[in-house]
Amino acid sequence: MESAKPSFSELFEHTITFPDPDMQERFALLVGLDDTKENLKKILGLLINPEGVVQWAKKHHPEARQVLSYVTKRPPLIVLAGDVGSGKSELAYTIGDAVARQEGLEVELFPLSLATRGQGMVGQMTQLISAAFEYTLDRAKKLKNVSGKSKGAVILLVDEADALAQSRESNQMHHEDKAGVNAFIRGIDSLGNGKFPAAVIMCTNRPNALDPAIKRRAAEIAYFKRPTDEGRHLVLDVPLKELGFTSHNISEIVKLTGPQNGQNYGFTFSDLVQRLIPALVLDAYPDRSVDPKRAITITKSVLPTSPFKEN
């Protein structure tokens, strides 16, 4: 007996509508990712509102018909891949705000619930994936404008995507899991073929585990790495100056958060903003100010998150 289609609220976490001031602030806090943010903002803008690039071409390159066709016919998929704590999930959740403001559109984010996926038994995953795309497609159809600018747009967010879209070439893969990957591919194609104002963002720590057919469909695969010395300085400079640190103090913290003691990896973005900076504040709270010298000792005691290792 076939189980009932999951309800919208069962399938997705709380949806987010952009523009949203809280998401705008979170997006701005993703420092050190400026090039990636700007590139993804443009790509998503083209995917959910192709009329924008059509108007651009009319103004700057009125004869560029074939070029325009190539640009507007890309599958509506973006893959954010890379190390744990690199900021890819946070960017995936917040980029919709920047795109909404850029395009002058209301953008809705549908984050696929991890809890729902965790409850999925063998044979149910295909139904979950198909239902997620059906809801996304139904909403996108209502937002499509036959001529001119879209009425709005929708983004389907799939975090930890390798759990749903791992390569079908694996010998250990169950046939039901392969069916789930096929459903994922059909879903992406259904959004793209209709040129609907919708896009899919997939996040993964294991880009090599994704099915090749899915990677081929990606309009962009953005790889995230741990911040360099320059990147860590960008993250730490403003908050540490607010705490009274000198440029020399900050440079020392930047050095200590890089590869140390024979380790070839330093702090992740999350290590810096979710662990180190709060640790400095909590150490001083509630009776005294943050002491830069003590901050050095604390930094030495915080271990960076180990890189994710694929089997």
186 and 123 housed in the same domain: yes
Buried b (16+ CB within 10 A) or exposed e, 148-165: ebbebbbbbbbbebbbbb
pLDDT digits (tens, 9 = 90+) for 266-303: 999 999 999 999 999 999 999 999 999 999 999 999 99
Q: What is the per-residue pLDDT for 1? A: 43
Residue appearing with tokens 């009932």: 4
Domain count of the fold of the chain = 2
Domain housing 279: 229-301
Rounded to an integer, the average pLDDT of 17-32 is 95
Crossing angle (nearest 10°) for helices 65-72 and 51-60: 160
Residues of the chain above pLDDT 70, percent: 91
User: Do the domain assignments include residue 306?
Assistant: no
User: Do the domain assignments include residue 234?
Assistant: yes
pLDDT digits (tens, 9 = 90+) for 127-183: 888 999 999 999 999 999 877 788 999 999 999 887 676 656 555 555 656 787 888
152 and 247 housed in the same domain: no
Tell me: pLDDT of 23 over 90: yes
153 and 135 housed in the same domain: yes
Q: Rounded CA gap, 49 and 144, in Å? A: 9
103 and 16 housed in the same domain: yes
Task: Please spell the DSSP secondary structure of 128-160, one letter per residue.
Answer: HHHHHHHHHHHHHHHH--SSSS-S-EEEEEESS
β partners of residue 224: 82
pLDDT digits (tens, 9 = 90+) for 45-95: 999 988 888 889 999 999 998 998 888 888 899 999 988 889 999 999 999
Q: What is the per-residue pLDDT for 53? A: 87
User: Do the domain assignments include residue 2?
Assistant: no
**Closest of 168, 154, 163 to residue 204, by C-alpha:** 163
Tell me: pLDDT of 103 over 80: yes
194 and 127 housed in the same domain: yes
60 and 209 housed in the same domain: yes
138 and 38 housed in the same domain: yes
Cβ atoms within 10 Å of 143's Cβ, excluding its own: 19
Buried b (16+ CB within 10 A) or exposed e, 266-295: bbbbbbbbebbbeebeeeeeeeeebbbeeb
209 and 288 housed in the same domain: no
Q: Rounded CA gap, 165 and 222, in Å? A: 17
Name the domain boundary from 201, 224, 247.
224
199 and 273 housed in the same domain: no
3-class state of residue 168 by DSSP: coil
Name the domain boundary from 224, 244, 274.
224
Kindly tell me the sign of the dihedral angle through the C-alpha atoms of 33, 89, 311, 266: positive
259 and 285 housed in the same domain: yes
Name the domain boundary from 208, 224, 240.
224
CA distances from 82 to 42, 127, 221 (A): 21, 28, 10
CA distances from 227 to 88, 248, 269 (A): 12, 19, 7
Tell me: pLDDT of 16 over 50: yes
Give the neighbor-by-neighbor strand order of the sheet with 220-224: 16-18, 107-111, 153-158, 198-204, 77-82, 220-224
Q: How far is CA 225 from the centre of its chain?
A: 14
204 and 281 housed in the same domain: no
> What are the phi and psi torsion angles at 104 (to 5°)?
65, 40
124 band by pLDDT with thresholds 50, 70 and 90: confident
User: Do the domain assignments include residue 81?
Assistant: yes
**CATH number of the domain within which 150 lies:** 3.40.50.300
219 and 261 housed in the same domain: no
Kindly tell me the sign of the dihedral angle through the C-alpha atoms of 30, 33, 38, 39: negative
Residue 226 and residue 267 in contact, taking contact as beta carbons nearer than 8 Å: yes
Number of residues that make up the chain = 311
Extended beta strands in the chain, E state: 16-18, 77-82, 107-111, 153-158, 198-204, 220-224
According to DSSP, residue 278 is labeled: H
